[in-house]
Chain A
Amino acid sequence: MADIRCPMCGKPNPAERDVCQYCQARLKPLTAALPPEPPKKPSAEPPKKKASEPAPKHNADDWLGSLRDQDDESFGESGDWLDDETLIGAGEGERDPLAWLSSIDSGAAAPGKPAEPEPDETEWLANASLESPASPGDTGSFERTFTTSSIGRGRREDDVDLSEWLSSLDKDQDEGIQVTGGEEASDWLAEFDTAGAASDDREAEALEPPVIQSKPAEDDLPDWLAGLAGNYQSPEPGFAQRTTAQEAIEPTQPADLPAWLASLSAGSGADRSETDLPLDEFGDGDVPAEELPGAELPDWIDRLGEPAAPPAAGEPATAELPDWMASLGAAGDADEMDLSQPPSKEKEFETALLPDWLATLESGAGDDQIFEQPESSPEPDTASLPAWMAALGETEPTGSLAPEEGEELEGEPVTGQLSEPAETASEPEWFANFEQVEELDEPPAAARNLVDAPMPEWLASLSAAEAEASLGTPAEMPDWLQGLRPTQDDLGAGQLEGEAEGADWLSDLERGAGESEAAEVQDLERAASSPFAMDGDLDSDLESLYQADVPDWLQDVTTETPAETGAVETGESLERAELPGWLAAMRPVGSVSVPRPLQEEEEEYTEAGPLAGLRGILPAEPVVATSRPKALSLRLDLTDSQQKHINLLETLLASEEAPRPAQAPARLTPQHLLRWVIALCLLVAVGYPVVTGSTLAPLPLPPSGVLEVRQEIQALPAGAPVLVSFDYEARLAGEMEAVAGPVLDDLMLRGAPLVLISTTPSGAFLAEQFIQQVHADHQYTSGQQYLNLGYLPGSTAGLASFASQPQRSAGYSLSGYEAWGQVPLQGVASLADFGLVLIITDRAETAQAWIEQTGNSLGDTPLLVAASAQAEPLIRPYYQSGQVKGLVGGISGGSAYDNLLGVAGQARRYWDAYQLGLLLAVAVIILGAAANYIMAVLERNKRSKGERTHEPA
């Protein structure tokens, strides 16, 4: 017994094993174990046919013939079992829906009957077919389109004859379509039509009553079906791009295919935009009815038109029907389940190995429960139908195939759940196979196996043409490929010897390689095309069954086994050594290392990914995977000391950034207490004499400066004007009034005219206030006894200007009048004309400015200064130098002058308080110094004691 090579790992396995002993992949499809009886029926006949031969109209051996006979027996001689009267008058459920297939046959049996267009097609139906779905996601449009296309497909098959029963459906609609699923056997068809009408109604935006819309046509076909047929005559252009099988069919169309298949291929590649059928795969076999001569139809299709025998009551329809037909419904059910997701590889493989009807027979056994029957739909109706029609009947009235309009019309709730599977259920099996061929683009082996599967002759020829078209016609092939092909043929059937002519250098090379190399090349191609081909009985049986259906060259390719593909992997026998010299020179020999193939024991199971569980899979990384670089640690190793330093630094930085809370000033501190005590003592010491008016303290003796002031005043000529400068601030007005008061009192006692001036803004008004308030008892009048010249601006420069040109610098009095014409200034032209200049100031700078700027302008005019106590020390050198003739400094000077005058002036009132204040200050200074000294001594002693204690004994 031959071994079975695993399609996954490629290793040989014993034939009795179902799964690979190496990779646990399935070796035999599940369908391989089924009884071979059903598939042999259709497979026995097609091999007798040639692809180029037209299909016979009738075949006496066709199993469908019995089916037709049964239909004839049950329905009598009348083939129009679906005419109006029969449909309406017959009891519901009494007719076998298979009878419509007879109309298919009758329609097909009239080859000469031309396809008549439907002139009075209802426009709404035509529009419904023409209109494309509103959007890809528009499920309703999608389903409606499919519905109409499915019906239109049936109509195209039987053309006019079939329209009879369909017209009766329209009549049902005219009568109100009150038929429910439980009342009539063909209720699903009625709903089917109703659904289509409703969808068209919606799309036409007419929303007219269905009675009007479903007006029966004058001809046999209803308009909507005619419209569908007409639409289908406009093929879809984009369809050919998506179906590779049909691409291959197109070049072979004129020579090999019957007319209806030619139209099929043309329709598959035609315009899609017009019909916009979303289920293109279901329309693969849709051929316009007028292009389907009955003579070219396969016999098994012709027999479909024969009346089928009615099924026995209560017996399932699948028991009566042929297996392939019984499996249609199941297959449709299964396909319905698979439509939502791509078919699995395993299933494709199984389907490719077996005839579709056989595969679906097995797989579609228990799928009927997927669809929910409407509550009103009786079970016997479904049982009497073919399975695929039953599925169609079950599905279409339910779900989204019955849109809202249909619900409104029917007045019945729609309980269906699946809508898309119904599309698959309505297609014949051979269409499904054809569809699978189209879908199996990858891998190509699946398509090849599908070609190998049992198929009718016409389909085999189609496959042959397709394969040939895929390889390219001899005229289209490049030379090197043409040379390669005869080599294969020579090794195989040897039918294409003539095509090997004109081969180029490559073909010559192939011929010269010998049979062994040619076989290897053949194996290589075979392995590439059908990696999943099986060795064994099943494979050989299938090949023997269909060997006559496929072209020889394709048969050779199909029957080849991938047993010798191992030679391809190594590539040792290829033309490596026979490369052209120039090409061999360019080959980077030595720079490429061929990895050593893994041994079986080295092969490991794949643990992850989609190929998990398989062994021998090439790893993601090459065998010579580079060693991983050594991982370098990014972590810095620190010693303990370094870590401590880092922590310390972090702490310092954190403390720098942390805001320090502001310390609230203490309410009571020793300094505050000391300050308050001193202030209190001072207030008491000063306040007490003021309050009591004490004059206990003796007045000081007048110093020399006071005496000289006194002498200068006494020496002042009578009526000589005296220039008095009030250059002090208000804050020291009390002291200055006490200091200068006795001097001015002496001048005023003598009746000297006073000319007041000030180098400070406040001095002018202080002077006025001094004359008017302090010495108000002298009754000096402005402009008469005194004249206030006001503020003299310019500081030093102003003084210099005033010293040089007093009239220009201070031409106006404080009241705004001309100063130099008034009485106090009469006879005065310069500073030297003044009898005396007295400067009352609290700042030494002012006195210095006066001395410096007016010293040369005064002449013999004495300059006297009454200064504050804080300015006296700095002015005294000028007095000692003789620049200032007299100096009264501070309250002591004022008191001395009072003492000299013998009056109790303001200075005298302040003298006691001043003395106590001085005493207190001296006391505080002494006490403070003593305390500081004591604290220093204590601190020193403490240090000395500490040093002694810390010194070693």
Chain B
Amino acid sequence: MNLPDLIGASIGFLLTLAVFSYLIGDNPLFRLAIYIFIGVSTGYVFSVTLYNVLIPQLLLPMTLGNPAQISLALLPLLLGGLLITKISPRLAWLGNFPAAYLVGVGAAAAVGGALLGTLFPQTGAAINSLDASRNTLLDGIILLVGTLATLLYFSFSARPQSAGAAEQPVWLSSIGSLGQAFIGITFGVLFAGVYSAALVALIERLDSMWAFVQSLLANL
């Protein structure tokens, strides 16, 4: 292990221990590690943005590009400059134009992608899952029941009764309870996925630390 790797591994080891110190409660070491991560991440993002966005896509076209590239580069420059005016409350209204442009373009892209990439394909897939020719009928049924039960669970309408109290029909409440079960299972699966990811991260950290210790022991 060379010196830079040793220094990096040592810093990683200490920061890992600092984060683990949260087991005994909030402490300065944990806060120090958190602040370091936030600072490093911010600096890292700025450098990436500078070197991967501004320089190649704004400065280089304006300096080295042809007039068409330059003119095209002026538009994002103008919008970017107006977006900076959001810092000043007096000039924030100037930043509304690029913000509106970004939101509009982003919303359009999201809506188009959701319709074409999620809603229609997923609807088709749900329908296709019930295709008897496929071996996914059970999955399709479970998918259908689960989907319907979850949707009916969020149905809060009820007919008024003679006594004045509003109660949902029994079948609707029963399906709603089934949908609640599907929702519970879904959240359980998601939680298990989160726990699994965190557990793997823990294992990776322990493995890294053990590797550092092994390297230290090997160099000693």
Please report A residues at the B interface, Cβ cutoff 8 Å. Answer: 675-676, 679, 682-683, 686-687, 690-691, 730-735, 737-738, 761-762, 764-765, 790-791, 793, 795-797, 799-800, 811-812, 814, 816, 842, 848-849, 851-853, 855-856, 868-874, 877-878, 880-883, 890-892, 909-910, 913-914, 917-918, 921
By the criterion CB–CB under 8 Å, are B122 and A881 in contact? yes
By the criterion CB–CB under 8 Å, are B52 and A687 in contact? no
13 A-B contacts (beta carbon < 8 Å) = A686-B203, A735-B201, A761-B45, A790-B51, A791-B48, A796-B110, A852-B112, A852-B117, A868-B193, A877-B122, A890-B196, A891-B200, A918-B199
B136 to chain A minimum Cβ distance, whole angstroms, is 8
By the criterion CB–CB under 8 Å, are B51 and A816 in contact? yes
Q: How far is the CA of A881 from the CA of B120 in the complex (A)?
A: 10
Q: How far is the CA of A873 from the CA of B109 in the complex (A)?
A: 24
By the criterion CB–CB under 8 Å, are A738 and B41 in contact? no
* A812 / chain B contacts, CB cutoff of 8 Å: 52, 56-57, 60
Is B114 located at the chain interface by the 8 A CB criterion?
yes
* B122 / chain A contacts, CB cutoff of 8 Å: 877-878, 881
B144 to chain A minimum Cβ distance, whole angstroms, is 13
B116 to chain A minimum Cβ distance, whole angstroms, is 7
By the criterion CB–CB under 8 Å, are A869 and B200 in contact? yes
Task: Return the chain A residue nearest B204 by Cβ.
Answer: A734
Is B97 located at the chain interface by the 8 A CB criterion?
no
* B208 / chain A contacts, CB cutoff of 8 Å: 734
* B57 / chain A contacts, CB cutoff of 8 Å: 811-812
* B204 / chain A contacts, CB cutoff of 8 Å: 733-735, 737-738, 910
* A914/B203 contact (C-beta < 8 A), A690-B210, A877-B125 known: yes
Task: Return the chain B residue nearest A855 by Cβ.
Answer: B117
By the criterion CB–CB under 8 Å, are A793 and B53 in contact? yes
Is B86 located at the chain interface by the 8 A CB criterion?
no
Is B160 located at the chain interface by the 8 A CB criterion?
no
* B52 / chain A contacts, CB cutoff of 8 Å: 761, 764, 790-791, 793, 812, 814
Q: How far is the CA of A101 from the CA of B129 in the complex (A)?
A: 158
By the criterion CB–CB under 8 Å, are A816 and B55 in contact? yes
Task: Return the chain A residue nearest B186 by Cβ.
Answer: A873
Q: How far is the CA of A811 from the CA of B44 in the complex (A)?
A: 21
A567 to chain B minimum Cβ distance, whole angstroms, is 98
* A890/B125 contact (C-beta < 8 A), A738-B200, A796-B109, A917-B199 known: no
By the criterion CB–CB under 8 Å, are A914 and B118 in contact? no
By the criterion CB–CB under 8 Å, are B203 and A690 in contact? yes
Is B1 located at the chain interface by the 8 A CB criterion?
no
* B44 / chain A contacts, CB cutoff of 8 Å: 761-762, 765
Task: Return the chain A residue nearest B45 by Cβ.
Answer: A761
Q: How far is the CA of A793 from the CA of B58 in the complex (A)?
A: 13
Q: How far is the CA of A765 from the CA of B43 in the complex (A)?
A: 13
B172 to chain A minimum Cβ distance, whole angstroms, is 26
Is B189 located at the chain interface by the 8 A CB criterion?
yes
* B220 / chain A contacts, CB cutoff of 8 Å: none
* B194 / chain A contacts, CB cutoff of 8 Å: 869-870
By the criterion CB–CB under 8 Å, are A921 and B125 in contact? no
Known interface pairs A682-B202, A881-B122, A918-B199; 4 further A-B residue pairs with C-beta atoms within 8 A, sorted by A's residue number: A690-B210, A852-B118, A870-B196, A877-B125
By the criterion CB–CB under 8 Å, are A790 and B48 in contact? yes
Contact of A914 among B45, B192, B196 (CB under 8 A): B196
Is B49 located at the chain interface by the 8 A CB criterion?
yes
Which B residues from 200 to 215 make CB contacts under 8 A with A? 200-208, 210
Contact code string B56-67 (vs A, CB < 8 Å = 1, else 0):
110010000000
* B184 / chain A contacts, CB cutoff of 8 Å: none
* B200 / chain A contacts, CB cutoff of 8 Å: 734-735, 738, 869, 890-891, 910, 914
Q: How far is the CA of A849 from the CA of B117 in the complex (A)?
A: 8
Task: Return the chain A residue nearest B202 by Cβ.
Answer: A686
Is B121 located at the chain interface by the 8 A CB criterion?
yes
By the criterion CB–CB under 8 Å, are B113 and A880 in contact? no
Q: How far is the CA of A878 from the CA of B200 in the complex (A)?
A: 24
A817 to chain B minimum Cβ distance, whole angstroms, is 9
By the criterion CB–CB under 8 Å, are A690 and B206 in contact? yes
By the criterion CB–CB under 8 Å, are A870 and B193 in contact? yes
Q: How far is the CA of A882 from the CA of B207 in the complex (A)?
A: 37
B176 to chain A minimum Cβ distance, whole angstroms, is 22
Task: Return the chain A residue nearest B124 by Cβ.
Answer: A881
By the criterion CB–CB under 8 Å, are A881 and B125 in contact? yes
A922 to chain B minimum Cβ distance, whole angstroms, is 10
Q: How far is the CA of A735 from the CA of B41 in the complex (A)?
A: 19
Is B23 located at the chain interface by the 8 A CB criterion?
yes
Contact of B190 among A683, A762, A870, A913 (CB under 8 A): A870
By the criterion CB–CB under 8 Å, are B196 and A853 in contact? no
Which B residues from 159 to 184 make CB contacts under 8 A with A? none
Q: How far is the CA of A688 from the CA of B80 in the complex (A)?
A: 53
* A913/B117 contact (C-beta < 8 A), A738-B200, A812-B56, A869-B200 known: no
* B56 / chain A contacts, CB cutoff of 8 Å: 811-812, 816
Is B39 located at the chain interface by the 8 A CB criterion?
no
* A738 / chain B contacts, CB cutoff of 8 Å: 200, 204
By the criterion CB–CB under 8 Å, are A869 and B197 in contact? yes
* B139 / chain A contacts, CB cutoff of 8 Å: 880
Q: How far is the CA of A797 from the CA of B108 in the complex (A)?
A: 8
A728 to chain B minimum Cβ distance, whole angstroms, is 10
Task: Return the chain A residue nearest B190 by Cβ.
Answer: A873
Is B195 located at the chain interface by the 8 A CB criterion?
yes
Q: How far is the CA of A869 from the CA of B210 in the complex (A)?
A: 24
* A761 / chain B contacts, CB cutoff of 8 Å: 44-45, 48-49, 52
A258 to chain B minimum Cβ distance, whole angstroms, is 103
Contact of A909 among B186, B190, B196, B207 (CB under 8 A): B207
By the criterion CB–CB under 8 Å, are A891 and B129 in contact? no
